[in-house]
Structure 1
Amino acid sequence: MVSADFIKQLEGYGLTTATILYRMPDHLHVLQTYIWQQYDLAPRFPVLHDFLAFWRRELDGPLHSVTVAHSRLIRPAEIRNLNGVLTLH
């Protein structure tokens, strides 16, 4: 069985990491850090936008800033068919 994450990578998704700074609800002068990581499509990042919309709608800590890093782990040139068998003794 092939993992869902591997299939997403073949469809063009890459690993996206977002460092989210937000203000504490009771102490707005204090910033906290939240690290979010998921497979997403650059450059529009629809999964990240959905998560941030959820954050604004459901959570009390107002967002301060979001820093995004993205890497496609599998690129089309890295996958090729292999014909033959190599046996090592």
Structure 2
Amino acid sequence: MSSQQFEKMLQGYSLATAEIIYRLPDHRLILQSYIWQDYDLFPDLPNLHKFLHFWQTKLDGPLHSVRVAHQNLIKPSEVRLVTKEFLLN
């Protein structure tokens, strides 16, 4: 992981993955899948929206559906309270 990616995670970015289903330009009945993955701000996902806008304006394959998942890679530490302590000699 690069330091730039780590800095983004500290700023609230999370790893976003989108499965983009689109129709082939020359065979509209055939669906194709494309996986997009990048660090993005959830829930607005500005990078994904920018990519989808590029897709719709510059590429020929019309979009059928988009499924999105995201995962925060930096999370608060888990705290577990200990009620007993055992000493071993």
Q: Which residue of 1 aligns with 2:14?
A: 14
Q: How does 1:1-89 map to 2 (within 5 A)?
A: 3-75=3-75, 77-78=76-77
Q: TM-score, normalised by structure 1?
A: 0.82
Shift, 1:65, TM fit: 0.1
What is the RMSD of the two structures over their aligned residues, measured on CA atoms?
0.9
Shift, 1:55, TM fit: 0.3
How far, CA to CA, are the matches of 2:6 and 2:44 in structure 1? 20
Structure 2 residue identity aligned to 1:70: H
How far, CA to CA, are the matches of 1:40 and 1:33 in structure 2? 21
Unaligned 5+ runs, structure 1: 79-89
SS at match of 2:69: strand
How far, CA to CA, are the matches of 2:62 and 2:52 in structure 1? 11
Deviations along 1:10-54, whole A, 9 cap, x unmatched? 000000000000000000000000000000011110000000000
Q: Percent identity?
A: 59
Structure exhibiting the larger radius of gyration computed from Cα positions = 2
Shift, 1:3, TM fit: 1.4
